[in-house]
Chain A
């Protein structure tokens, strides 16, 4: 986070000589200037409160209540932690929490390792490397639903390209042992480029002297990378890992399109669990509790993220 605080500009800070300007400025302009800050800020605050603040407060309330969609907005009664108790005694929720943790760790680790390798590759000075750098942006930006559809067709048991290349007839998305890996691969495919490009930006911003000094001291390239480049790159790695953790944790589109949470709940991550509780089984209080478990976990990672970016400003 770049906390670049500027001194207030203009008469706001008394920079301008009031005697010179006050004659020229009429009351209307003065009034406009006085309301400029609130006028520019208030719409953002109002929109955030309406679309984030109120819904979040409402679902927090809901998570402690007995409530159905037919009752009035605030007609529920307080039930304490009963919804959370229901949630944590639901074997499906517990398995989806465990699946989500495993899935997030596996995808983020793969994205980091592959991304680091790709960043180093893209950092080499060979002709035409820019073309590959640009091409890598495409999977990372395309509509997630289209990425999921793409892989659903590629992994088709009978006519998919993957089986044609491997010469197998594997039912990738119908096998509980393979399905989670398959949906994970789609997200790794889509998001490794982001990690790679972020780390590449990091590599290119590193000072050259430490690497040169290591070479003078006779370090080989692995030693240089391990003891010089990697420590310098660490702030970027931390940002990449935290951002990817926050975003993999919410994975939804790839699963919804490719498996719908199946087979046999093998890909039912927290997001799918919450979605189904909200909009398929309409167990709203349970969904609110599950939403807040997700929000709570993400908030913890947000705190890490804010601390990490505040401590070491990345430029």
Chain B
């Protein structure tokens, strides 16, 4: 009886410690972001009150200000255009390639896969200068097309590695049946493989979307004030001093991050696999 009671007490203590740990996790990793959301819902006086206000009537004036601000809207729409275009292009190029990597053997295949893996690892800052010089030479500097090209290419390794495993795990009997019925490879790929691979394609699309949407360094160099994306605009707010317009800064940040959070939660199961280039399942 006492042994049973002791066991229950130990279990209780373990629960308490576990939840204490989990709640501190939440405080460290999520609360800072909630605090920033909070700032975006405060008036200027409330933001610069010391000690900080913890309870207040939320105001949307910062969001109203940001959403009527032409440079925020311009950069946000640039981000949308650049992200949509690069995701579409990289899927169009990367998915057929990754299918071929999964299903066929051809000379140089191993080298190509390893090269793609290394491409994903290289620090962008180390490739930025020659890329900038080359884009300038072909008259593409300060265009959205230049960042679209850069993001498309940087997404390819991600898409090829994530989708290759996905395609390799699809049963190939269906494709073989289609060949026997006289379908071409292209037809079997489009009509049979792609519909089966849809969940994998969604994951690959979102990972490449996040890459383009979150990037700062390429856009910082390859765009100008008219073609810059949201992260570039946000970084310009932080140049040197953050000034006193914290309401607008935080509201813009929240608006930029909301789509990221939604899409990340959709693919949360596949995030680790994607971010480790398919090396971990």
Neighbouring B residues of A302 by C-beta, 8 Å: 117-118, 121
A139-B33, A246-B121, A274-B126 known; A32 and B260 CB under 8 Å? no
Neighbouring B residues of A62 by C-beta, 8 Å: 130
Could you give, for residues 41-84 of chain A, a 1 whenever the CB lies within 8 Å of some chain B CB and a 0 otherwise?
10111011011101110110010000001000100000000000
The reply to whether the CB of A198 lies closer than 8 angstroms to some CB of chain B is: yes
Partner-contacting stretch, out of B43-51, B62-70, B196-204: B43-51
B268 touches A137 (CB 8 A): yes
Neighbouring B residues of A291 by C-beta, 8 Å: 125-127, 129
B126 touches A295 (CB 8 A): yes
A260 to chain B, nearest CB (A): 7
Neighbouring B residues of A271 by C-beta, 8 Å: 123, 125
Neighbouring B residues of A58 by C-beta, 8 Å: 130, 133-134
Least CB separation from A52: chain B residue = B119
Determine the distance from Cα of A113 to Cα of B240 in the docked complex, in whole angstroms: 33
Least CB separation from B49: chain A residue = A159
A40-B97, A50-B153, A126-B15 known; A298 and B234 CB under 8 Å? no
The reply to whether the CB of A236 lies closer than 8 angstroms to some CB of chain B is: yes
Neighbouring B residues of A198 by C-beta, 8 Å: 272, 276, 280
B167 to chain A, nearest CB (A): 9
Determine the distance from Cα of A199 to Cα of B184 in the docked complex, in whole angstroms: 43
Neighbouring A residues of B115 by C-beta, 8 Å: 48
The reply to whether the CB of A257 lies closer than 8 angstroms to some CB of chain B is: yes
The reply to whether the CB of A207 lies closer than 8 angstroms to some CB of chain B is: no
Neighbouring A residues of B84 by C-beta, 8 Å: none
Determine the distance from Cα of A5 to Cα of B165 in the docked complex, in whole angstroms: 10
In chain B, positions 125-152 with a C-beta closer than 8 Å to chain A are 125-134, 137, 149-150, 152
Neighbouring A residues of B246 by C-beta, 8 Å: 153, 159
Determine the distance from Cα of A220 to Cα of B111 in the docked complex, in whole angstroms: 47
Least CB separation from A142: chain B residue = B257
B29 touches A135 (CB 8 A): yes
Contact of A11 among B99, B179, B268 (CB under 8 A): B179
A5 touches B105 (CB 8 A): yes
Tally B residues with Cβ within 8 Å of A.
Answer: 112
A126-B18, A146-B234, A299-B118 known; A288 and B156 CB under 8 Å? no
Neighbouring B residues of A1 by C-beta, 8 Å: 113, 117, 278-279
Tally A residues with Cβ within 8 Å of B.
Answer: 115
A54 touches B134 (CB 8 A): yes
In chain A, positions 1-25 with a C-beta closer than 8 Å to chain B are 1-6, 8-12, 15-16, 20-21, 24-25
The reply to whether the CB of B3 lies closer than 8 angstroms to some CB of chain A is: no
Partner-contacting stretch, out of A86-94, A209-217, A248-256: A248-256
Determine the distance from Cα of A161 to Cα of B42 in the docked complex, in whole angstroms: 14
A73 touches B137 (CB 8 A): yes
Contact of A145 among B125, B183, B235 (CB under 8 A): B235
Question: Can you list 11 A-B pairs with a CB-CB distance of less than 8 A?
Answer: A1-B278, A55-B130, A126-B18, A139-B30, A143-B216, A194-B272, A194-B275, A239-B280, A278-B132, A298-B123, A299-B118
B contacts, CB < 8 Å to A: 14-15, 18-19, 21-22, 25-26, 28-30, 32-33, 35-36, 39, 47-48, 50-52, 93-94, 96-97, 99-106, 110, 112-119, 121-134, 137, 149-150, 152-154, 156, 160, 165, 168, 172, 175-176, 179-186, 189, 210, 213-214, 216-217, 221, 230-231, 234-235, 237-240, 242, 246, 249-250, 253, 256-257, 260-261, 264-265, 268, 271-272, 275-276, 278-281
